[in-house]
Structure 1
Amino acid sequence: MSLSKITPCLWFDGQAEEAAEFYISIFPNSKITTIQRYTEAGKEYHGRETGSVMVVEFELNGQTFTGLNGGPYFKFTEAISFQVDCEDQAEVDHYWKHLKEGGDEAKQQCGWVADKFGLSWQIIPKRLKEMLSDSNSERKSRVTNEMMKMTKLDVALLEKAYEGA
Structure 2
Amino acid sequence: MKGGRMLATVPGNPGMGEVAVINVKDPKAPIVEARYPTPDCGSGLALGPSQHLLVGCGGGRPLLMLNALNGHVIATVAGTHGADEVWYNAGDNRFYAPSGFGATPTLSVIDAETGALLDSVPAGPGVHSVAAFRGNNHVFVPVSVPNATALTDMCNVMFGLPARQGCVAVYAYEK
Higher relative CO (CA 8 A, sep ≥ 6), structure 1 or 2?
1
User: Which structure has more helix as a fraction of its residues?
Assistant: 1
TM-score (norm 2): 0.27
TM-score (norm 1): 0.28
